[in-house]
Each structure stands twice: as C-alpha cells, then as structure tokens.
C-alpha cells in the first residue's frame, strides 16, 4: 500500500516542486485566502513528476512502450531525417501523454544508441499528426544485438517546453530503462524495423516499460481493438 502512495519523484522535478512550494509560502504570507491554489498546484506538480518502478518483460525480441498514455496512431511513416535511417516508411506507434500521465519515458528495446539528435521546432498540440514533423523533438536510433534498428522520438506538445534525455550516443541500454522525461503534455513515437507488426491498437492505453507493442519473433497479424 505504501509503495502505491509513496511513489518516487523524478529528479527533474525537484526544482520545479521547490519553486511551487516557495510560491505557496509567499501566498500564505501575503494572500492567505488564496493559499489553497498554491497547495493544489504544488500537489499536482509532485503528482506529475512521479517516477514509479515498472515490471519489464525481459525476453529477447520484445519491444515495449516508451510512454504511458493512449495509443493515438498505428501507421507507417519515415523516421526523422536527422537519424539517417533512410526514406522508407516504417511501422510507427504513437503514444500521447496528457498532463495526468507519468511522463518518465523508457527505452523500448535493449541495444546500443547509434544516434542522438535534437531538433528545435514548434509547439503544436501533440495529438495532431503534424506534431511529428514540426514540433521540437529529441530522437534516438537504437540498434539491437541482432542488428535491427528502431527509432524512439520524444516530441514536445502544446504546453511542453523541455525535453530531457538522459542517454548518450554509443551507450548500451536495456529494455525498460529510464530514458528521460518531457514537461508537460507530450508524445513519443516509436518507428519499428520494416516487417515488424505492431501489436497494439489505436485507443489502447499503454504503460511504459510494461506494455508490449511489438515482437521481433512474432508472425501475428496486426491486432484490431474494440471498446467494450
């Protein structure tokens, strides 16, 4: 029960939480009737930066979700040009995070970071498809031990103003490892290797580091989903 309530806070949030708490103290001293606004905002800030542990499937070949949220798009698209992954469209899974989701992002598949690229851009609503092309983003190219590669792209949203990525080029990473965080609403796109079929459906909720979105070994056709 305590593990459910006392969730760790991501280090990227401590400064912001401290600023909200300081503002609340000032409000209490100079505008006491409005102190509840500061308390609510500080509590929400703590909630936003929560960083729970996850149980990640470790079988080789599995690709897990990089973000908590709703699977917004399952389609094909060309990976960001700055990753030099060619111009062929690949299967893509896009997960949209609202401001109430956990925003700590996770590595989708074990391998080596072959490329890291940051591109400044605009701040369209992350739920819009044009966000993948025009918004600020931080992209990773991951090469697996089997030689396959995939891209993981953190995309800023309408109110997001900072993408934090904690991994570096040539680093060896594990499936489910913490990768970074985006403040505040945002999206993460995964570009799968050609021929790999996504195993999630539009509208499905994903859990970072736990939900399997694809399997290198699977021959299963694309899944359809229904709201029930």
Q: Which residues are catalytic?
A: 186
d(CA 190, CA 70): 13
Residues listed for the chain: 228
The dihedral formed by the CA atoms of 110, 111, 112 and 114, expressed in degrees to the nearest 10? -100
Give the number of C-alpha atoms closer than 13 A to the C-alpha of residue 78, restricted to the C-beta side: 9
Q: Is 142 left (phi over 0), alpha (psi -120 to 50) or beta?
A: beta
SS3 of the chain: helix, strand, coil, percent, to 5: 20, 35, 45
| Residue 48 near residue 99, CB atoms below 8 Å | yes
| Residue 152 near residue 167, CB atoms below 8 Å | no
Indicate the SS3 state at residue 115. strand
């Amino acid at each position: 029960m305590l593990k459910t309530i006392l969730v760790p806070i991501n280090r990227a949030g401590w400064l912001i939480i401290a600023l909200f708490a300081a503002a609340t103290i000032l409000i209490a001293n100079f505008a006491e009737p409005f102190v509840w606004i500061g308390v609510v905002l500080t509590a929400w800030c703590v909630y936003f930066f929560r960083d729970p542990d996850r149980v990640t499937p470790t079988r080789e070949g599995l690709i897990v979700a990089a973000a908590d949220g709703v699977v917004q798009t399952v389609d094909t698209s060309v990976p960001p040009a700055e990753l030099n992954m060619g111009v062929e469209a690949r299967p893509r899974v896009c997960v949209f995070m609202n401001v109430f989701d956990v925003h700590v992002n996770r590595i989708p598949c074990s391998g080596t970071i072959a490329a890291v690229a940051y591109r400044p851009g605009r701040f369209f609503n992350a739920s819009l498809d044009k966000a993948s092309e025009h918004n600020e983003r931080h992209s990773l190219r991951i090469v697996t031990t089997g030689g396959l590669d995939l891209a993981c792209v953190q995309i800023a949203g309408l109110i997001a103003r900072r993408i934090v990525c904690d991994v570096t080029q040539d680093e060896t990473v594990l499936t489910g490892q913490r990768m970074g965080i985006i403040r505040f609403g945002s999206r993460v796109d995964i570009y799968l290797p050609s021929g790999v079929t996504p195993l999630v459906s539009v509208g499905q909720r994903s859990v970072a580091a736990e939900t399997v979105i694809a399997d290198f070994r699977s021959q299963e056709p694309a899944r359809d989903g229904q709201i029930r």
